[in-house]
């Protein structure tokens, strides 16, 4: 489907990247610092993983977007989700307990999960499939920038101010992004205006059936669970390993995370340049196979800082490239239920992160980094097998 005449894709995607970037920074940047947030409330480090669980659980609400979007409109959904994110950021300084922080994290994750499917559906509706890998690559720059910019900012602010100060900064950026998205991207209210139209666009429960009876769509969703599971294992355990093994400080972790963020940026640039040229399915298969192999390198190189950083760089690079390429496939896996499919993509990735968040730190405590990476490599290999059977017309 070509872009709407009153939407210029350049400014539209730029505004989406800014708003998504603020959300992704608030979502991703705290992960290396969870133990410091827990310590601010006198909570044991083992409890820090519950913050990651709270963020991931929230993603399970994402399929609701496709069901209700036709009734309330994409613009209304965007305002609601983004406004909720900004409000949560503003409330962080007033959290009196660690439990309150968990609830706010949960609300933040819900807000982000309600907005992300809108972005994917927007790209699917406005960009032809043969160019969609490039468009998704540009949009997903927000994920990379949320890490490469957000993590150092988070480390700098919690070391020099307090744990909640980064959320105020991210909320302000999100407010600016929302205003620009409403100006350049989601420019019209597409909600139905009369009773007959409301009835015609009622809650689209049948879209759920159309997704889950589509074999290709189901395989894409299984693939997402598996690769997100392995990525979350690595994300939650590399920082404790670097602190325990090499004595890194929060600020030094921020510098390390810049290096890993460069991998994300390189992956997004790679998807922009390569995915539509070499084929989306082939891109996913090659990247994910390399992703599985990169966990073996982490195990082999875990005792020396520089080689370990090189291996982790490869983990982040191949994961992000494979993930973004798979999102381009997902936008066409169920074209008759695009928003619902996008919602389930978010939900299944969240489900994988939930399971990983629950077991990552206990597994790390039992067997160290090598045990975690071995499990991650096995599940990534299963993801390669699942995607082998995916077929979408190029």
196 — pLDDT class (breaks 50, 70, 90): very low
Alpha-carbon distances, residue 114 vs 223, 270, 291, 334 (angstroms): 21, 27, 28, 19
pLDDT interval class at 2 (50, 70, 90): very low
| Mean pLDDT value across residues 310-320 | 94
For residue 318, the surrounding DSSP H or E stretch is helix 305-333
Distance CA 62, CA 111 (A): 9
Q: Is the dihedral of CA 204, 352, 123, 118 positive or negative?
A: positive
Predicted local confidence at residue 187, as pLDDT: 62
User: Max CA-CA distance within the chain?
Assistant: 66
Q: Which pLDDT band holds residue 6 (cuts at 50, 70, 90)?
A: low
Whether 74 and 119 have beta carbons less than 8 Å apart is answered as no
335 exposure class (CB count in 10 Å sphere: 0-12, 13-18, 19+): middle
pLDDT at residue 193 in the model:
47
Mean of per-residue pLDDT scores for the chain: 84
Structural domains of the chain ordered from first start: 9-388 (1.20.1250.20)
Residues in CB range of 18: below 8 A, 6 or more apart: 142, 173, 176, 177, 180, 181
Contact 113, 335 (CB under 8 A): no
The contacts of residue 278 (CB under 8 Å, 6+ apart) are none
What is the pTM for the complete model shown?
0.75
**Confidence band, pLDDT 50/70/90 cuts, at residue 46:** low
């Amino acid at each position: 489907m070509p872009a709407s005449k009153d939407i210029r894709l350049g400014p539209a995607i730029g505004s989406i990247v800014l708003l998504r970037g603020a959300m992704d920074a608030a979502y991703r940047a705290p992960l290396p610092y969870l133990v410091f947030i827990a310590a601010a409330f006198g909570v044991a480090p083992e409890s820090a993983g519950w913050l990651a669980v709270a963020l991931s659980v929230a993603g399970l609400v994402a399929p609701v977007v496709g069901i209700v979007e036709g009734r309330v409109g994409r613009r209304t959904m965007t305002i609601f989700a983004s406004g909720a994110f900004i409000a949560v950021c503003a409330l962080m300084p007033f959290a009196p307990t660690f439990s309150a922080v968990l609830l706010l994290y949960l609300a933040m994750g819900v807000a982000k999960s309600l907005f992300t499917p809108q972005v994917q559906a927007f790209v699917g509706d406005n960009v032809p499939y043969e160019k969609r890998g490039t468009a998704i690559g540009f949009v997903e720059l927000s994920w990379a920038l949320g890490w490469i910019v957000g993590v150092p900012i988070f480390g700098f602010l919690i070391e020099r101010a307090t744990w909640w100060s980064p959320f105020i900064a991210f909320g302000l950026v999100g407010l600016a992004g929302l205003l620009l998205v409403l100006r350049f991207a989601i420019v019209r209210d597409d909600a139905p205006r009369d009773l007959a139209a409301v009835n015609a666009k009622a809650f689209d429960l049948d879209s759920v059936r159309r997704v889950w009876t589509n074999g290709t769509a189901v395989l894409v969703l299984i693939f997402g669970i598996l690769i997100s599971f392995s990525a979350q294992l690595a994300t939650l355990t590399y920082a404790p390993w670097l602190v325990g093994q090499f004595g890194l400080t929060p600020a030094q972790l921020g510098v390390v995370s810049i290096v890993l963020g460069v991998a994300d940026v390189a992956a997004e640039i790679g998807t922009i340049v390569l995915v539509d040229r070499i084929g989306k399915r082939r891109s996913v298969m090659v990247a994910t196979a390399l992703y599985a192999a990169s966990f073996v390198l982490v195990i082999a190189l875990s005792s020396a800082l520089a080689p370990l950083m090189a291996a982790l760089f490869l983990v982040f690079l191949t994961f992000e490239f494979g993930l973004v390429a798979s999102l381009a496939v997902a936008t066409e896996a169920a074209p008759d239920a695009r928003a619902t499919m996008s919602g389930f993509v978010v939900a299944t990735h969240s489900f994988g992160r939930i399971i990983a968040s629950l077991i990552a730190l206990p597994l790390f405590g039992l067997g160290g980094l090598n045990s975690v990476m071995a499990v991650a490599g096995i599940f990534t290999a299963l993801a390669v097998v699942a995607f082998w059977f995916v077929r979408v017309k190029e």
